[in-house]
Amino acid sequence: MMPFLTPLDIAAVIWFFTLWIGYNLIADSDRLRNKSVVGMMHEHRRRWMKEMLQRDMRMLDTMILNHLQGGIGLFASTSILAVGGLVAALGATDKAIAVLSTLPLVGETTRLEWEVKVLLLMLVFVYAFFKFVWSYRLYGFCAILIGAVPSSTNLGPDAETRAEQAAKIADLAGRHQNRGLRAFYFAVAALAWLIHPAVFIIASTWVVSVLYRRDFRSRSQRVVRGD
């Protein structure tokens, strides 16, 4: 345990990682995954790839993949910019501490405390960057698998197997993309640690409740489910 962190700080960090890792494990588990809007999209990806087999010109499919990659590329770039901004913040520690000290609830912050809190934010955005970049590559793999499928007039006996492979790769890309997006949500919670560890705990709990509602109780979930 680092002596410059109070017991409440340590509890807040443990709570943060417990919620983040725990939510990913539970929400993406086989038992609950098909009940979330993200998990339900797997079946739609399978239908997409089956429809792809019937199209001779698959420009529509490549356009969809390009659209997905474009959004992921934007988030990956944003993650890197956020890391760069946080590195710059480390170089302006004294000014940042002076600004924070004027805010309510913010107690006296040491230089080491500030650096640890900024490093936590950097960790979250670096994690998100790797998730988005891998998702981007997986959608590229999916495009190659689609390109390897013969035209609709020359489909072989293994065509459906290839379509299933493409659907699984697209689903895996979507899973990594979703985890990167969740990291952005938790970055907002980590930002609250700059104010107070109690605010950090509240923000982490609030983020999980928002994610749960949007994954399992949102209007989009009911629409995708067919209600």
Mean pLDDT for 55-67 is 85
Asked if residue 153 has pLDDT above 90, the reply is no
User: In the chain, where are the structural domains located?
Assistant: 7-225
CB of 52 closer than 8 Å to CB of 61: yes
The contacts of residue 203 (CB under 8 Å, 6+ apart) are: 188, 189, 191, 192
Confidence (pLDDT) at 211:
94
What mean pLDDT is predicted for residues 127-131? 97
Q: At what angle do helices 37-53 and 159-191 cross, to 10 degrees?
A: 150
> What φ, ψ does residue 158 adopt, rounded to 5°?
-95, 10
Of all residues in the chain, what percent carry a pLDDT higher than 90?
A: 42
pLDDT, tens digit (0-9, with 9 covering 90-100), for 17-52: 999 999 999 888 878 777 888 888 888 888 888 888
Q: Mean pLDDT across the chain, nearest whole number?
A: 86
